[in-house]
């Protein structure tokens, strides 16, 4: 797998110098962190390059960094003929959660981007219908951000000892 990682890293560094911020292998899966300003062109290249051919978007989801200062988007791409997979990540500040849409590359990104907007507040520029998909339209928060507690802090009918705390 490291051969694939090195090949993709070398190809991206030649085509897009300085755009790859981090490359690593996690759980036998090549993972690249790409500068947010170049994410769309890198995704287009990974999809359209005949040798790399990552033509299938398996998944797209949001993430918030542990320090709670940045949001990000993770793309899982698949080259089905060669059965190769790669993870592509990009991060941006919490105060400007906006990146280009991937719906022009993969129409299936439509619902995944809407879900990421719905739960993390990431706006995908150029998306054809950037509206909530699972939560109510009137909701004014993004529930998967770490600034919102997972439990109702006002409940008094739970004993912490029952939950190992």
**CATH, residue 120:** 3.30.460.80
**Closest to 62 in 3D by CA, of 82, 22, 39, 92:** 92
**C-alpha–C-alpha distance, residues 113 and 115, integer Å:** 5
pLDDT at 46 over 70: yes
Q: What share of the chain is helix, strand, coil (3-state, %, to 5)?
A: 25, 30, 45
pLDDT at 49 over 90: yes
163 in a structural domain: no
164 in a structural domain: no
pLDDT at 165 over 60: no
Average pLDDT, the chain: 88
21 in a structural domain: yes
> Range of 27's domain?
2-146
pLDDT at position 2 is: 61
151 in a structural domain: no
158 in a structural domain: no
pLDDT at 162 over 80: no
The length of the chain, given as a count of residues = 165
The average pLDDT across 125-143 equals 87
Tell me the pTM. 0.86
Quick one: tokens of 16? 């897009």
pLDDT at 45 over 90: yes
Total domains in the chain come to 1
159 in a structural domain: no
**C-alpha–C-alpha distance, residues 165 and 145, integer Å:** 23
Quick one: tokens of 68? 């709670």
pLDDT at 158 over 90: no
122 in a structural domain: yes
94 in a structural domain: yes
Q: Across the strands, what pairs with 77?
A: 57, 86
**Which strands make up the sheet holding 20-26, listed edge to edge?**
20-26, 29-34, 84-93, 70-79, 56-64
pLDDT at 29 over 60: yes
The more confident residue out of 149 and 120 is: 120
pLDDT at position 143 is: 80
The average pLDDT across 25-31 equals 87
Render pLDDT for 5-26 as a digit per residue (tens, 0 to 9): 788 888 999 999 999 999 888 8
Percentage, residues of the chain above pLDDT 90: 60
């Amino acid at each position: 797998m490291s051969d694939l990682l090195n090949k993709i890293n070398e190809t991206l560094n030649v085509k897009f110098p300085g755009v790859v911020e981090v490359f690593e292998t996690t759980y036998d899966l090549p993972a690249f962190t790409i500068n947010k300003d170049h994410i769309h062109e890198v995704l287009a290249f990974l999809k359209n390059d005949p040798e790399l051919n990552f033509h299938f978007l398996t998944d797209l989801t949001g993430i918030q960094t542990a320090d709670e200062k940045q949001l990000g988007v993770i793309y899982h791409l698949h080259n089905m003929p060669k059965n190769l997979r790669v993870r592509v990540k990009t991060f941006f500040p919490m105060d400007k959660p906006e990146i280009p849409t991937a719906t022009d590359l993969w129409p299936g990104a439509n619902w995944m981007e809407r879900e990421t907007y719905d739960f993390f507040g990431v706006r995908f520029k150029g998306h054809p219908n950037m509206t909530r998909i699972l939560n109510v339209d009137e909701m004014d928060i993004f529930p998967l951000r770490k600034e919102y507690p997972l439990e109702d802090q006002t409940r008094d009918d739970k004993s912490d000892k029952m939950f190992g705390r």
